[in-house]
Amino acid sequence: MTDSKYFTTTKKGEIFELKAELNSDKKEKKKEAVKKVIASMTVGKDVSALFPDVVNCMQTDNLELKKLVYLYLMNYAKSQPDMAIMAVNTFVKDCEDPNPLIRALAVRTMGCIRVDKITEYLCEPLRKCLKDEDPYVRKTAAVCVAKLHDINAQLVEDQGFLDTLKDLISDSNPMVVANAVAALSEIAESHPNSNLLDLNPQTINKLLTALNECTEWGQIFILDCLANYTPRDDRESQSICERVTPRLSHANSAVVLSAVKVLMKFMEMLPKDLDYYGTLLKKLAPPLVTLLSAEPELQYVALRNINLIVQKRPEILKHEMKVFFVKYNDPIYVKLEKLDIMIRLASQANIAQVLAELKEYATEVDVDFVRKAVRAIGRCAIKVEQSAERCVSTLLDLIQTKVNYVVQEAIVVIKDIFRKYPNKYESVIATLCENLDSLDEPEARAAMIWIVGEYAERIDNADELLESFLEGFHDESTQVQLQLLTAIVKLFLKKPTETQELVQQVLSLATQDSDNPDLRDRGYIYWRLLSTDPVAAKEVVLAEKPLISEETDLIEPTLLEELICHIGTLASVYHKPPSAFVEGSRGVQHRRLPPRAGSVESAESPDVGQSGPSEAPPAVIPSQGDLLGDLLNLDLAPPTATVPSVQPSMQMGAMDLLGGGLDSLLGGDIGGSPSMGAGLGAAPTAMPAALGGAPPVGGGLGDLFDLGGGVGMPTGFYVVPKTLWLPAMKAKGLEISGTFARRGGIIQMDMSLTNKAMSVMTDFAIQFNRNSFGLAPAGPLQVLTPLSPNQTIDVSLPLSTSGPVMKMEPLNNLQVAVKNNIDVFYFSCQFPLSLLFVEDGKMERQVFLATWKDIPNDNEAQFQIKDIHLNSDAASNKLQGSNIFTIAKRTVEGQDMLYQSIKLTNSIWVLAEMRVQTGNPNYTLSIKCRAPEVCQFVYQCYEMVLKN
């Protein structure tokens, strides 16, 4: 075979010649011609002009020729949609072929032709192929559904292919299952809220069975899908882990990494004191190490992932330092990654070895690698205090080599070491000063200047040194200029007598001759400080600096959690969330680890874990457009109507504290702020489902119940445990969880604000959108102290019901905006209607009877409350705690009938009749109200109160 000749035809009349050959009678000649066409296509030549001639060759018995024609079709059909129709007949015929390979080929190719007219014809053959007797055809058809969905999602839904695809998960053939899972996962990604991949224990079991039997690729699809599931409890989590661990011995690294992902995620749910937890940790290390003997490209992927795993669970690999030692022949990308991990694993136990290695690396050839090695030595010094001295002396040795970039890098890290261990290693300053001239990089110059300024009192010729920098002040980079300005001011404050001239020189350079605003501002501030109050200047400029932290460049915890859920994928290689590099809606869904076992967080409803769509709560997060519109309305739309509606809520005490802040919160900021997109995200997160009747899981709930807060209430208002309202992911690190309570007639919104970012948060303020019952803050949000990283603060916000009213969908939806010094964030939550049940809701009997009759029967709604094991008296007592008052009780044939009344804050009366049959745990509830839309929510309150 010498097919390479097809690549060399570059004559002029080529297309014309090919045309003739394609229409030749001889089969061989035809085939030759098609091969030439494909070769030209590969090289990038446009051979679309031959479309009709190539399609004519389609009707053939020769499979090789047929495949070539199909290949051509896939490439050019889109540019010639009308002519592509010519091919339809052959496709449809081939889908009926007795040979399964040809049926599959036809359906596979047809799915790749993105022409609307063709896809219409695809539906019938596809439907047949999905139910084909041959597994090879079924597995191909399964993928074809995903293809079709990519072309026309609506068509796939209308034709019911999704259900057929779901059925294939129970197929007897493992490869069909795997492909169906892959197709469903992909389709589900573009419908984040759909219930498409209905993962429940039964389907999980099916997947785990198929996992043992299918191809290596199928195992990857299944494991990646499993990783989206959130087990109900630790026991389920453990049993899945047990069935996934054997995959760690698979020869395919991708199978191993995907298994690691599942285990890392599900491990979160296991209690730490469980024996199995320890076993699992031990099992994870060897396969991760083995990945490092794979080909270099895979090593790179593995190392990027290990970097994440080490940050999340350092204990897994803490004894494996040696395997990350760099080999001389490793590709540079492997070397750099290994170095990163070495620093993360460095500890007192292994620091001697690590340092010896790093010193070795600092003499290598690759500049980036050497720099990183030097920097790593500094990091070790900061991380492991015992080693600091050795690190410093190693760095001094390296400075002696006089290799320019080594010296510069060393000086930069030594600056950090000074910051970490003040007054300890200043003896080396003299050596550093010797190298002043060789520094040509801004970072190194700035570091050196900082050192001179900081220790000016110990360096005799500090003024000379700094003066030498001053000569070329305007040619320096901003970083160096700023540093130089500060250093000279420090020097002046320490040795005022000799340096007056110098400081004046630098101040005038910075303020008068510079056009950099930062530099000018800093210059002016120093100038005024010095001229008005030198003592204050001293306090400001020479203030004690906070120690720098040990671990730098750690990935932010929330991002880390998300990346752990993406182990093995590109996101884990880039260390960026998928939304940062994937276009469109795909993959933008944020993933979270399941709540940690045993921690208070477990009080969150499991659904917050995002991936368990089993109990999809009503989608109440408004789409970005909606909320944007709504909030803008408050301020911008018809001014006469909206301005007063904002006013009252602002007067509720928020005004004095926040003043203009709120204005900008609602007005200006919303306008063009890019943070809107970030805050709202394109992908709605599942909302807390606690209201929907899902009993919250986990222990420790008692702590959360604020029962003591009731003022003279018989049994107390039932408070739903706090649920996550605003995930940190969407709010630049601010996490808010909360609940509502009614205490002594006052409505309160209890929130826990957690700072998961790396910096301090201040200036909190809150505002509500208009809502169905006019809820509005009755005072400012009381967060008086700044919220430092990882700190949580609990606040109780009193609410009034005199705010502006607008009917929401659902009725109890509340849209909230929270502002801090970073940005404005939006979320929405639902409050239990019982919040609005007032204390004087007990109706007179007579009035009750009259009203009951008065309300039309159409307004009556009936509900079943299941599984209540209370007698009618206990129930009525319980309900009274939530201001649901029993007015009368009647017993008819062993059935207790309770008549009850409720009054809402907006003076709407709700009447109810509850039938309780002794021995039957199911109550029947009839609710009557003039505003029938509240019935559903009243029923929810009943259920919630009675079940807790």
Binding of residue 310 to another protein (CB under 8 A): no
The size of the interface with another protein (CB under 8 A), counted in residues, is 114
The nearer residue to another protein, 220 or 946, going by C-beta atoms, is 220
Q: Which string of DSSP letters, residue by residue, matches 38-49? A: HHHHHHT---GG
- The C-alpha atoms of residue 725 and residue 814 are separated, in whole angstroms, by 11
Examine residue 810 and say whether the peptide bond preceding it is cis (omega within 30 degrees of 0): yes
**Which segments of 771-922 does DSSP mark as H helices, in order?**
845-854, 872-881
- Going by the DSSP 8-state scheme, the letter that residue 771 receives in this structure is B
Residue at token pair 């040509």 = 440
Q: Which string of DSSP letters, residue by residue, matches 398-454? A: HHHT--HHHHHHHHHHHHHHHHHSTTTSGGGHHHHHHTGGG--SHHHHHHHHHHHHH
Binding of residue 322 to another protein (CB under 8 A): yes
Residue at token pair 């191809």 = 215
The nearer residue to another protein, 523 or 568, going by C-beta atoms, is 568
> Which residues, numbered 346-405, are part of the site for another protein (CB under 8 A)?
353, 356-357, 360, 363-365, 401-403
Tokens of 372: 């990183």
Binding of residue 137 to another protein (CB under 8 A): yes
> Which residues, numbered 176-195, are part of the site for another protein (CB under 8 A)?
176, 179, 182, 186
The nearer residue to another protein, 162 or 910, going by C-beta atoms, is 162
Binder among 48, 128, 135, 441 for another protein (CB under 8 A): 135
Binding of residue 325 to another protein (CB under 8 A): yes
The nearer residue to another protein, 108 or 494, going by C-beta atoms, is 108
- Going by the DSSP 8-state scheme, the letter that residue 1 receives in this structure is -
Binding of residue 895 to another protein (CB under 8 A): no
Q: Give the three-class secondary structure for 864.
A: strand
Nearest approach in angstroms of CB 155 to another protein is: 16
Nearest approach in angstroms of CB 760 to another protein is: 33
Tokens of 760: 């301090």
Nearest approach in angstroms of CB 107 to another protein is: 10
Nearest approach in angstroms of CB 1 to another protein is: 6
Nearest approach in angstroms of CB 65 to another protein is: 9
Binder among 276, 277, 333, 852 for another protein (CB under 8 A): 333
Evaluate whether 447 touches 415 at the Cβ level (below 8 Å): yes
Binding mask 474-493 for another protein (x = CB under 8 A): --------------------
Evaluate whether 690 touches 721 at the Cβ level (below 8 Å): yes
Binding mask 711-730 for another protein (x = CB under 8 A): --------------------
> Which residues, numbered 599-658, are part of the site for another protein (CB under 8 A)?
none
- The C-alpha atoms of residue 296 and residue 292 are separated, in whole angstroms, by 8
**Residues 173-176: contacts with CB under 8 Å, at least 24 apart:** 173/135, 173/138, 173/139, 174/210, 174/213, 174/214, 174/215, 174/218, 175/135, 175/139, 175/214, 175/215, 175/218, 176/135, 176/138, 176/139, 176/142
Binding of residue 143 to another protein (CB under 8 A): yes
Evaluate whether 382 touches 416 at the Cβ level (below 8 Å): yes
Strand 723-726: give its sheet, edge to edge.
723-726, 734-743, 746-755, 792-800, 776-777
Binding of residue 235 to another protein (CB under 8 A): no
Nearest of 506, 512, 477 to residue 492 by alpha carbon: 506
Binding of residue 21 to another protein (CB under 8 A): no
Binding of residue 6 to another protein (CB under 8 A): yes
Binder among 30, 36, 139, 819 for another protein (CB under 8 A): 139
> Which residues, numbered 252-291, are part of the site for another protein (CB under 8 A)?
252-254, 256-258, 286-287, 289-290
Nearest approach in angstroms of CB 382 to another protein is: 25
Crossing angle of the two packed helices 116-130 and 161-168, in degrees rounded to 10: 40
Crossing angle of the two packed helices 100-111 and 63-76, in degrees rounded to 10: 10
840-865 burial, b at 16+ Cβ within 10 Å, e below that, comes to ebbbeeeebeebbeebeeeebbebeb
Q: Which range of residues in 105-113, 382-390, 544-552, 711-719 is near another protein by CB under 8 A?
A: 105-113
The nearer residue to another protein, 2 or 532, going by C-beta atoms, is 2
Nearest approach in angstroms of CB 191 to another protein is: 16
The nearer residue to another protein, 61 or 515, going by C-beta atoms, is 61
Nearest approach in angstroms of CB 256 to another protein is: 7
Cα–Cα distance list, 255 to 177, 213, 300, 581 (Å): 17, 13, 16, 24
Tally of CA atoms within 13 A in the half-sphere of 826 that contains its CB: 31
The nearer residue to another protein, 41 or 927, going by C-beta atoms, is 41
> Which residues, numbered 779-808, are part of the site for another protein (CB under 8 A)?
none
The nearer residue to another protein, 38 or 925, going by C-beta atoms, is 38
Nearest approach in angstroms of CB 126 to another protein is: 14
Nearest approach in angstroms of CB 78 to another protein is: 8
The nearer residue to another protein, 333 or 852, going by C-beta atoms, is 333
- The C-alpha atoms of residue 136 and residue 93 are separated, in whole angstroms, by 18
Residue at token pair 């990857």 = 220
Nearest of 570, 515, 533 to residue 304 by alpha carbon: 570
Binder among 57, 68, 506, 925 for another protein (CB under 8 A): 68
Binder among 36, 243, 338, 415 for another protein (CB under 8 A): 243
Binding of residue 947 to another protein (CB under 8 A): no
CB atoms under 10 Å from CB of 288, counted, come to: 22
Binder among 90, 110, 118, 147 for another protein (CB under 8 A): 147
Tokens of 321: 């330092």
Binder among 13, 44, 639, 702 for another protein (CB under 8 A): 44
Binding of residue 42 to another protein (CB under 8 A): yes
Binder among 12, 25, 154, 328 for another protein (CB under 8 A): 328
The nearer residue to another protein, 72 or 863, going by C-beta atoms, is 72
Q: Give the three-class secondary structure for 855.
A: coil
Nearest approach in angstroms of CB 571 to another protein is: 5
Q: Which range of residues in 299-307, 656-664, 668-676, 742-750 is near another protein by CB under 8 A?
A: 299-307
Nearest approach in angstroms of CB 165 to another protein is: 14
Binding of residue 250 to another protein (CB under 8 A): yes
> Which residues, numbered 544-603, are part of the site for another protein (CB under 8 A)?
566, 568-574, 578, 581-583, 586-587
- Going by the DSSP 8-state scheme, the letter that residue 811 receives in this structure is T
Binding of residue 154 to another protein (CB under 8 A): no
